[in-house]
Amino acid sequence: MYLNLIQIAESFGVTEKVVEDWIRNEGLPHTPDRGRLLFDRSQVANWAATRGLAAHVGFLAPEAPRIGAGWRLEPLLRAGGIHRDIPGSGVTEAFQKIVGSLCGATPSIRQLLAQRLKTSDSITFAPVGGGFALPHPSTRITLGHDSGVVAILFLRDALRLAEKTPDKAPITRLLFFIAPSPRAHLDLLGRLSRLLARGPLRELLVRAAPDNEIFDAVSLADATSPGAGDKEANS
**If you count them, how many residues does the chain have?**
235
Residues forming a β-bridge with 159: 171
pTM (2 d.p.)? 0.67
Give the residue-averaged pLDDT of 187-209.
Answer: 90
Spell out the domains of the chain, with CATH numbers in brackets. 2-60 (1.10.1660), 73-224 (3.40.930.10)
- pLDDT level of residue 68 (50, 70, 90 thresholds): very low
More confident residue, 168 or 226: 168
Is pLDDT above 80 for 152?
yes
For residues 143 and 105, is the Cβ–Cβ distance under 8 A? yes
Is pLDDT above 60 for 19?
yes
Is pLDDT above 50 for 69?
no
CA atoms within 13 A on the CB side of 212: 0
